[in-house]
Chain A
Amino acid sequence: MTLAPFEGADALVRRNNISSQGPEGAPAIVFGHGYGSSRQMWRLVAPQFVDDHRVVLFDHVGSGGSDRRAYDRGKYDSLHGYADDLLEICHALGLSEIVYVGHSVGAMIGCLAAIAEPTLFDSLVLVGGSARYINDEGYVGGFEADDVDALLDSLDANYLAWASTMAPVFMGNSDRPELTAELLDSFSKADQAVARQFARVTFLSDLRSDLSSVSTPTLVVQSTNDIVAPVVAGEFLRDSIPGSRLEVLEAEGHYVHVSDPEKLTTTIRSFLG
């Protein structure tokens, strides 16, 4: 594993908790996680590509093991901030002809990055993506604006449950057992604020008018039983992204990369040819 062909790559590795595995010079495959998760979610899929790909995993700033100090509320108030980070990562690692596999909002971040720098990408795989979650005239996203408010309420209402779950994680990840409860509390409060904003950005963004600008060969993967991104959301992506294909997987839930990693891996591989 080698990193840092560019100056500043080390800083990015810390900021986005980047890992890179696989043979040097092999085609690059980058996995981007979605809302509410981390690069860990790819643990069952990513290893399937390590033999013949340079596999890059990362956490969005504010998620997983990323550097929370890099979280700028203005920058990350839209998906463009995340897309800029993705492009920075690709450049810093010297990647080209990239296969980008994004889940959920991570898929949409990939679309924005590929629109901004089409030459960087070889192909896109959008897993459980949605151009817009809120229903609109003539458009089914699956949710109403009130539902997003309810999600934000749930985040707040479950703050305690969440903090008690996450506390051991913070402790476990920390080399500083002297961390006081107070410090922990401030960490979780900051994370709570990040989670709220990321939820807003994820569920209130609208990329419908951007999709026609995607010129990268694209595979849309939707699972049959996904309440977050229903099959119609996948059909909309297919119909809006020029030349894209839709693959509907008989799989359970929003996290097909966890619930059926073999099926997803096979689907990606057959698309890549």
Chain B
Amino acid sequence: MNPGVQARDLFDLIPCGLISATTRGVITTVNDTFLAMVEKKREEVVGHHLIEHLTPGSRLYFETGFMPQLKAHGRASEVAFDLCLSSGETLSVFLNAVVDRERDGGTILFAVFDATLRRHYERELLAARRLAERSETRVTILQTATTAFGNAGSEEEVAHALADASRAATDAMAASVYLCDPSGGFSAPSSSGAAKQLVEAALLDALGGRGDPSPTGGLAQSPTTVVYSGSAELSAHFPSAAAALRTARVEALATVPLIDDGALGGILLASFGRPRRLDPPTVDLLESLAQQSVLVLQRIRLRELISYRSLHDPLTGLPNRHSLQRRLDQLLTGTHPNQPTIAVLFIDLDGFKSVNDRFGHLAGDSVLRRIGASLERAVRSGDMVGRLGGDEFLLICEDADEQSAGDLAERLRATVRNTPLEEATGLSVSASVGVSIYRPGTSPEKPTGDALIQLADEAMYQSKRTGKDRATIIRA
């Protein structure tokens, strides 16, 4: 037996493809097994690039993944590729490679194994793993968002949490949340990433805003998620914003409405720096996040409403007794000898009972609202005017000495007298005012807020007793 022939047989018959190639990948030797694998003749293979036998996707990986690594590390094992067969079918293989730098100025030796069954199995595993990773990512994003929403104490913080979560969910260049404000516009955005507010403003404008009641009013009419996946689509939908989009390098955009009780409560904009499509699970995730944020916004608004109501008089909208007392206590807590004087003005309407008696309580309420609004306009900024109840109002002034408190009392009396009473024509209402003044450091005992109010009340009675429509001042 000739051992050379035997080795040659082994080379050709061994159940794996064997190839030698130049360092640039041009095939120099190939065994019969490989030719059988790719269903090609020797002359179709030798002298050609190995890459020519790969599917386009495998070519990309070969050039950008495999070859750079092989060149850097000299060897590679069990790398998966797909070969193109003459029949048009593909064959999955594993490839081992080693670089022999000495031989013929550098040679790459390849061993190729049919891996059809294993690759099929691996593809299933891979699909399952991707699904699992995807679910895991989704859960993480939702959990992180839920925590952030839970910690949010204001609408702005909720909007920020939504922007952050949306960016994490989509890898967006920037995500911004615009909440609808009561005036019919949008609030300043809460953004995550490098948001470009100019282009976003242009987009919102082009979307028709929310104030447009016409059926053509873009969003106002059809609040659904829209993904504009490329520059052409974007400029077709937003011709007026096209230049701004280009400058801001936005090449794709997703708009997700925040639906609050069937109405638009805000909008989420996620912008991308390259053409992007969002697959249904991602859109679904964005919508879940948006919906979750709406629930949190509702909770926060309710809390703010409760807090507002607990501090305000429902009839006039002015601070109520509770907030007046709180304010006074705050002022007194900080008091030290150099602190300014505090004045408390107790205002009781004269002749209000006749309004109620003659024109009814609705007219009386209306008069109280009107006078409340006039008083609020008449006081200095920083002073607090509120309603104690009935026809009693209270003004708390920081930094008002006897002289200026007296002036203020006169101004309030004039204000009340001059408030037009359309609901109670023919009647006139005036005010009896009582003022208590406390100058820190003048008395050894610091008075309480209640005591100051009580004192002002007594002063007011003094005004009533001495003929009404006048002011009396008492020093604490």
Listed in ascending order, the chain A residues whose CB lies under 8 Å from chain B are 34-37, 40-41, 73-75, 77-81, 104, 142-144, 146-151, 153-158, 160-162, 164-165, 169, 197, 199, 201, 203-206, 209, 225, 227-228, 252-255, 258-259
Contacts and interface: CB of A to CB of B under 8 A. Distances in A.
The 7 A-B residue pairs with the shortest CB-CB distance in the complex, in nearest-first order? A150-B57, A78-B273, A154-B61, A36-B64, A252-B24, A147-B56, A78-B274
B274 A36 contact: no
Contact of A157 (B55, B64, B122, B231): B122
Nearest to B95: A161
A254 B61 CA distance: 12
Interface stretch (B77-85, B451-459, B461-469): B77-85
B78 A161 contact: yes
B231 A209 contact: yes
Contact of A75 (B73, B79, B193): B193
A160 B37 CA distance: 25
B91 interface: no
Nearest to B275: A206
B226 to A, nearest CB: 19
Nearest to A133: B60
A77 B51 contact: no
Given A149-B57, A165-B73, A259-B24, A77 B272 contact: yes
A73 B231 CA distance: 21
Interface stretch (B169-177, B312-320, B341-349): B169-177
A248 B72 CA distance: 26
Interface of A is mostly: helix
A75 B249 CA distance: 12
A41 B69 CA distance: 11
A153 B92 CA distance: 13
B71 interface: yes
Given A81-B273, A158-B61, A225 B49 contact: yes
A130 to B, nearest CB: 12
A198 B122 CA distance: 24
Given A78-B173, A161-B76, A148 B60 contact: yes
Contact of B167 (A35, A41, A74, A151): A74
A215 B66 CA distance: 36
Contacts of B173: 74-75, 77-78, 80-81
B67 A143 contact: no
Contacts of B39: none
Contacts of B447: none
